[in-house]
Amino acid sequence: MSLSRAALLPPEVRFEYPFSGNLLQLGEGIKMHYLDEGQGPVVVLLHGNPTWSFFYRDLVVSLNSAGYRCIAPDHIGCGLSDKPQDYNYTLDQRITDVSALLEHLGIKAYSLVLHDWGGAIGCGLAGRAPDQLEKLVLLNTAAFCSKRIPLRIASVKIPVLGEFMIRGLNTFARLAANMAVRSPLSPKVRQGYLWPYRNWADRVAVWNFVKDIPLRSTHRSYQALVDVEASLEHLKDKPVRLLWGKRDFCFNKQFLRRWQVIFPQAETTVYNDCGHYLLEDGGRNVRDAVAKFLKINSV
């Protein structure tokens, strides 16, 4: 491409996100934006909702310095990726999209760092080809069925009202920028999280991620999540690290305990004063923990 999409970001956001980025054309001309930074063993970093690869900006720099190649896509509809209004915004499609990216890049072995919705997407990806996964880092996420959902999220799942609140008022992204951290974001970092979601059309994936939370067996993504959960059995021999913000209003201690049952071999660190955006609140301590885990458990 002649002009990096990242170059369109406001200067203060560019300072925080100093990457050129790349584009992959998926089906029907839809382009996925992704970072491919550094050299060495591959680490794939998958974000959730309502964030984008901006969430991993400092971790990418840290891991590059430690000798790792970082692949961090923006899921379709998020960040600097295209935002089609009629895309198949489902868990299964998300997994397929990331799989297509890794196939395009010729990546056959990688570690994963997963946050929020990235947990279900990344574990689904690894579950389809477990031999390719080397190590797994989980940051306040889930990849299993649960009916636990905060009232503030359940309220925006309501048809019509929920879409108006998320796409019309930008309630979900704006409140996340406040409630997902214990320490207030700086103005430029807050702008970085919100900039890709400036209008109704830009927020299509934010709404569809909320719609795609499968609480009932009749939900369109329920079976996909059941399959992801079942595939975790194939990952039990992998090195796993749990890094958890205790002050997360959504992925609380019940989710952490569930992970500890699934992966009893996993080392766990709980950050008592950190919220859902663990990499923001935890900063260097969390970044160093990720790098140390990847190095110690190198294969």
Q: Tally the domains of the chain.
A: 1
Residue 25, domain CATH: 3.40.50.1820
SS (H, E, C) 212-224: CCCCCCCCCCHHH
Return d(Cα 277, Cα 164) in angstroms, integer: 25
Close Cβ partners of 26 (under 8 Å, ≥ 6 residues apart): 32, 76, 97, 100
CA–CA distances in Å: residue 296 to residues 46, 59, 62, 138, 204: 22, 17, 16, 17, 40
Write out the chain's pLDDT in tens, 299 residues: 447 999 999 999 999 999 999 999 998 889 999 999 999 999 999 999 999 999 999 999 999 999 999 999 999 999 999 999 999 999 999 999 999 999 999 999 999 999 999 999 999 999 999 999 999 999 999 999 987 776 667 666 788 889 999 999 999 999 999 999 999 999 999 999 999 999 999 999 999 999 999 988 999 999 999 999 999 999 999 999 999 999 998 999 999 999 999 999 999 999 999 999 999 999 999 999 999 999 985 65
The parent domain of residue 71 ranges over: 5-296
Let me know: does 35 contact 53? Beta carbons within 8 Å: yes
Strands 267-271 and 110-116: unpaired
Let me know: does 197 contact 81? Beta carbons within 8 Å: no
